[in-house]
Amino acid sequence: MTGSDVTPSFRLAYVPGVTPTKWVRIWNERLPDVPLTLVPVSAAEAFGVLRDGGADAGFVRLPVDRTDLSAIPLYTETTVVVIPKDHVVAAVDEVSAEDLADEIVLHPLDDTLDWESPPGRPAFERPATTADAIELVAAGIGVLVVPQSLARLHHRRDLTYRPVSDTPESRVALSWPQDETTELVEQFIGIVRGRTVNSSRTQPTPPAQQPKRKRPEPAGAQRKPAPGKSAGKSPRSGSGGPKGAKRGKPRRRS
């Protein structure tokens, strides 16, 4: 099988909380002949998937090891605390980390926030996953501090969330292997950065055509008369009269 027989494709990994729908839609509009496959991965395994060739690029959470991976930071998420709807914190618009000092704050093993010291009191055991921690919050065992997208992902009717200040923030980035910056990766980078079709690197805008310059006429040269006019002849008298006017007869000499 030759290289020309292989159908091109693009694999995009993404961690929980990231919604790649918008970028996938633009990709399908611009490259309808190149299928894009979504590869859901956990935050912990995302970098291994990129290094092992399991995906061409991926939405990950910073920090990224720049030794062998490239990354473009995209946005920073708001940090929130997930609580039961009848919790006292639900009565305010925002809290600080200090306000959670007396709370049992769950710290799952897949936590994506870079804590120096998590707020509140630790639970006896760390939940294995964020999903497990959400179940414990619903059971009234503690509260959970996560990026807002994860609170939305694990939404429950009996839970709500509020922004928390003075806590680490999670930053989302697009990452890919440094030695695998292919043409398709460049295309996706352009989509994420908001480049239009005309501004795409792969489809440069053609230069504007310059108007042709007229050659200068040599000294002493005579211009040719315009079509329909004869040179050196003056128009007949009376030619400017109204159409159909009669002319008088010339007199005979006696």
pLDDT in tens, 146-203: 999 999 999 999 999 999 999 999 999 999 999 889 999 999 999 999 988 776 454 4
Same-domain pairing of 62 and 184:
yes
Owner of token pair 């008298």: 237
Tell me the CATH number at 71. Answer: 3.40.190.10
Question: What is the pLDDT at residue 22?
Answer: 95
69 vs 232: CA distance, rounded Å: 82
Query: What's the chain's average pLDDT?
Result: 84
Same-domain pairing of 83 and 139:
yes
Same-domain pairing of 138 and 18:
no
Same-domain pairing of 128 and 63:
no
Query: With 60 as the cut, is the pLDDT of residue 229 above it?
Result: no
Question: What is the pLDDT at residue 106?
Answer: 97
Asked if the structure places residue 215 within a domain, the reply is no
Greater confidence (237 vs 115) lies with 115
Question: With pLDDT > 70 as the criterion, what percentage of the chain qualifies?
Answer: 75
Q: Which of 29-33, 85-89, 222-226 has the lowest mean pLDDT?
A: 222-226
CA distances from 150 to 76, 115, 155, 201, 235 (A): 13, 17, 8, 35, 91
Query: With 60 as the cut, is the pLDDT of residue 215 above it?
Result: no
Query: With 80 as the cut, is the pLDDT of residue 224 above it?
Result: no
Question: What is the pLDDT at residue 187?
Answer: 96
Closest CA to 23 of 175, 189, 204, 150: 189
User: Residue 48 is inside which H or E element, if any?
Assistant: helix 46-51
Same-domain pairing of 134 and 22:
no
Query: With 60 as the cut, is the pLDDT of residue 142 above it?
Result: yes
User: Which domain covers residue 175, as residue numbers?
Assistant: 8-76+171-192
Question: What is the pLDDT at residue 2?
Answer: 47
**What residues contact 114, with CB distance under 8 A and at least 6 apart?**
63, 168
